[in-house]
Amino acid sequence: MDWQKEDLKYIWHPCSQMKDYETLPPIVIERGEGINLYDINGKCYKDVISSWWCNLLGHCNPRINEALKKQVDTLEHVIFANFSHKPVITLCEELMKVLPKGLCKFNFADNGSSAIEMSLKMSFQYHYQTGNPQKKRFMALTDAYHGETLGALAVGGVDLYSELYKPLLLDVIRIDGPDCFRCPYGKCRDNCNCECFEKAEEAFQKHADETAAIIVEPLLQGSAGMKVYPPLYLKKLRELCDEYNVHLIADEIATGYGRTGKMFAFDHAGVSPDIMCLSKGLTGGYMPMAVAITTQKIYDAFYDDYLKGKAFMHSHTYAGNPLACSCAVEVLRILKDENIIEKANKRAVYFNRIIKEKFLPLKNVGEVRSIGLINAIELVKNKETKEPLDSTKRTGYQIYKKALEKGVILRPLGDVIYFNPPLIIEEEDMDFVTDIALECVNSVLI
Ligand SMILES: *Cc1c(COP(=O)(O)O)cnc(C)c1O
């Protein structure tokens, strides 16, 4: 059977111009092991993007497999209104041990975008029920990404995804966020005072009265090209939110679970958000699950006699799915038992060093930026002026195709090449994937 042909007969792949598949047909994967994926012909691909950033501990991790198998023979799913089960309670207990202070109430969903929708609704309803019904708008940063459903898309600021749908979207207050590579203040992210924060202050002065919440991807704007900004920004934002009674929503869907070198990106800032969204690494990349976690204070504003009509009438059929929870519990145990984040941080030093050595000297590399094991290489036309490459040339895409031939999955964001590997990646694979990436960059950008 020609699996590729059959695939294209039926399947409309996500986030793809399907015509591109004429020259790059879908790669049909048969099995996975560690950071390796193997296609139906036995060819190996290094999954250094963690299959859209969710695979945390390698494919077919023996411990997660075991936990999942055990759960599937016990209970696969149960309605989550009025019913509960051990895996979800255990998961909350385990998460409580690692979450930023104050987060203690868990509302489950089945994908990241849904958790974002839930947070926005929750924040609005909190203000509505505590005497501030005029707080019905949201603030978000430029270049933000929060998912694809209409609410999540509205707070997002990457035009590639949202521009076309503007007529359908909420009117969000957009704040010029940190842009450390092309800093308009001429500062450097390692020692600045977040001068760009004045944009947030201006927005709060003008709009805080009508604002329920501000949502951010803490420290790392992933989809915008792995843009990294300093923790001080979050600290300042916490103070501003407190001053103006605006919720701080942390979208830790991509940054949680050790991706930035600490369990959560907010841990770098030493402050807590009012609502935190988790997904992706939550189940180790095994099962679709997400959660919006909030404070006692927000929870209490919904707690009253039924006829007062204050309940949060929001549900997802698969909320709290036991199979997903059993994976999520095992992920937390592995992180702890095997000291995963600490070990990953050690190897991250090596990874960052070889990437800088290999790529910084190239004439088209504007910046190498890193946080945790995530490393991004921004390609530019001119190193001095930081002028971008001509995007119509699709340079990143050409590099992606070359690297696939050589067995490495890079999938650049525009002309930003990045690595966001499972936390278990070893030095030998770091050497291999960076060599291939370098070869591909050099062959495309001659
Ligand atoms: C992936 C992602 C989302 C959306 O999650 P989905 O499960 O794809 O809906 C939201 N925010 C961030 C930061 C993400 O990386």
Q: How far is the CA of 433 from the centre of ligand 1 (A)?
A: 25
**Nearest protein Cα to ligand 1, atom 7:** 112
Same domain, 332 and 348: no
Same domain, 132 and 80: yes
pLDDT at 446: 81
Same domain, 263 and 179: yes
Coarse DSSP helix, strand, coil percentages of the chain, rounded to the nearest 5 percent? 40, 15, 40
**Looking at residue 148, which CATH number applies to its domain?**
3.40.640.10
Atom of ligand 1 nearest to the CA of 148: 9
Boundary residue ending a domain (286, 320, 337): 337
Same domain, 239 and 375: no
Q: Residue 285, Cβ neighbours under 10 Å: how many? A: 25
Same domain, 42 and 85: no
What would the two tokens of residue 221 be?
């704007």
Return d(Cα 220, Cα 230) in angstroms, integer: 9
* pLDDT tens string 163-220: 999 999 999 999 999 999 999 999 999 999 999 999 999 999 999 999 999 999 999 9
Same domain, 260 and 202: yes
* pLDDT tens string 141-162: 999 999 999 999 999 999 999 9
Q: Is the CB of 222 under 6 A from ligand 1?
A: yes
Closest by CA position to 425, among listed 359, 343, 357? 343
Q: Is the CB of 279 under 6 A from ligand 1?
A: yes
Closest by CA position to 214, among listed 264, 287, 273, 269? 273
pLDDT at 259: 98
pLDDT at 34: 98
Which segments in the chain show pLDDT lower than 70?
none
Same domain, 303 and 406: no
Same domain, 114 and 256: yes
Which amino acid is residue 130, in one-letter code?
Answer: T
Q: How far is the CA of 186 from the centre of ligand 1 (A)?
A: 31
Report in angstroms the alpha-carbon separations of 137 from 55, 73, 115, 312. 34, 46, 18, 19
Q: Is the CB of 253 under 6 A from ligand 1?
A: yes
Q: Is the CB of 249 under 6 A from ligand 1?
A: no
Boundary residue ending a domain (322, 337, 352): 337
Q: How far is the CA of 351 from the centre of ligand 1 (A)?
A: 25
Domain total for the chain? 2
Residue from 146, 148, 153, 276 to probe ligand 1 pocket by mutation (most atoms less than 8 Å from CB): 146
Range of the domain at 155: 66-337
Which amino acid is residue 335, in one-letter code?
Answer: L
Q: Is the CB of 88 under 6 A from ligand 1?
A: no
pLDDT at 101: 98
Q: Is the CB of 113 under 6 A from ligand 1?
A: yes
Q: How far is the CA of 112 from the centre of ligand 1 (A)?
A: 5
Which amino acid is residue 245, in one-letter code?
Answer: N
Same domain, 190 and 79: yes
Q: Is the CB of 254 under 6 A from ligand 1?
A: yes
Return d(Cα 276, Cα 173) in angstroms, integer: 20
Q: Tokens 């000297």 label which residue? A: 361
What would the two tokens of residue 158 be?
């990457």
Q: Is the CB of 50 under 6 A from ligand 1?
A: no
Taking the CA atoms of 56, 59, 65 and 69 in sequence, report the sign of the dihedral they define: positive
**Looking at residue 439, which CATH number applies to its domain?**
3.90.1150.10
Same domain, 55 and 78: no
Crossing angle of helices 198-207/232-244, nearest 10°?
Answer: 10
Q: Is the CB of 147 under 6 A from ligand 1?
A: yes
Q: Is the CB of 145 under 6 A from ligand 1?
A: yes
Q: Is the CB of 251 under 6 A from ligand 1?
A: yes
**Nearest protein Cα to ligand 1, atom 6:** 112
Closest by CA position to 399, among listed 361, 428, 365, 353? 365
Boundary residue ending a domain (269, 303, 337): 337
DSSP 250: E
Q: Is the CB of 177 under 6 A from ligand 1?
A: no
DSSP 276: E
Same domain, 56 and 72: no
Residues 364-398: b if buried by 16+ CB within 10 A, e if exposed? bbbbbbbbbbbbbbbbbbeeeeeebbeeeebbbbb
Q: Is the CB of 112 under 6 A from ligand 1?
A: yes
**Predicted TM-score (pTM) of this structure:** 0.98
Same domain, 44 and 80: no
Kindly calculate the radius of gyration of the chain based on its CA atoms and give it in whole angstroms: 22
Q: How far is the CA of 224 from the centre of ligand 1 (A)?
A: 12
